[in-house]
Amino acid sequence: MAFFDLPSDEELSPEVRQMLQDYARLTGKEAPPPTWRAFARSPKIVEARLKAAQNIGFHLPGFSWDAEMFALMLIAHAKRCQTCFGASRLELDKLGFDETTLDGICANPGMLPLKGRNRLFVEYALKVATDSVDLKPKDFREMEAKGFSKDEIQQIIAFAAYWTMHIVFTQSMYAALAEE
């Protein structure tokens, strides 16, 4: 038996129903994933996740969509989140990247087919998401020296933090929804 269950439609408040629909629309889906619906009994959590997704999860100014998806793929790969990994690869497939190329990039991120700022965005986002405990002031100075403004550096941190948070919610809820 699963630890958590999904609330029925009748249990959803109009506000939570709207937030779940807003998230589905943001991600281009007809319905929110079960990992979102499972939190519907906790409106503050749904609200916080939605606001974070709307503000820092997608479409950062100054960075390309493929850079965001490569960063997500590598973060999800490092954190072993199959859901986020698969979603990022679907987006990269739509952009023309084949499975062999993507497998190669996961095995060796140095093969990343991006240049300049987009490549650096991916490298820094991956570092922040997977090794934040070892960040030093010199890391931020390096980013600035490579042409990133302080605002852009904060956007990179926020992107990495959002997807790390999203992965924790996703992995935890899939475990809690699983039948034993």
Report the C-alpha gap between 159 and 157 in whole angstroms. 6
The confidence score (pLDDT) of residue 100 equals: 95
**56-90 b/e (C-beta count within 10 Å ≥ 16 → b):** bbeebeebeebbbbbbbbbbbbbbebebbbebbbe
The confidence score (pLDDT) of residue 60 equals: 81
**Is 44 strand, coil or helix?**
helix
Cβ 163 vs Cβ 49: under 8 Å: no
For the chain, which residues make up each domain, given as ranges?
A: 9-57, 65-168
- State the CATH architecture for 65-168: Up-down Bundle (1.20)
DSSP 8-state class, residue 111: G
Mean pLDDT, rounded, of the chain:
94
- Calculate mean pLDDT across residues 174-179: 92
**Identity at 135, one-letter amino acid code:** L
Looking up tokens 């992107």 gives 159
- Calculate mean pLDDT across residues 37-47: 95
Question: Using 50, 70 and 90 to split pLDDT, how confident is the model at 33?
Answer: very high
pLDDT in tens, 85-134: 999 999 999 999 999 999 999 999 999 999 999 999 999 999 999 999 99
Question: Using 50, 70 and 90 to split pLDDT, how confident is the model at 59?
Answer: confident
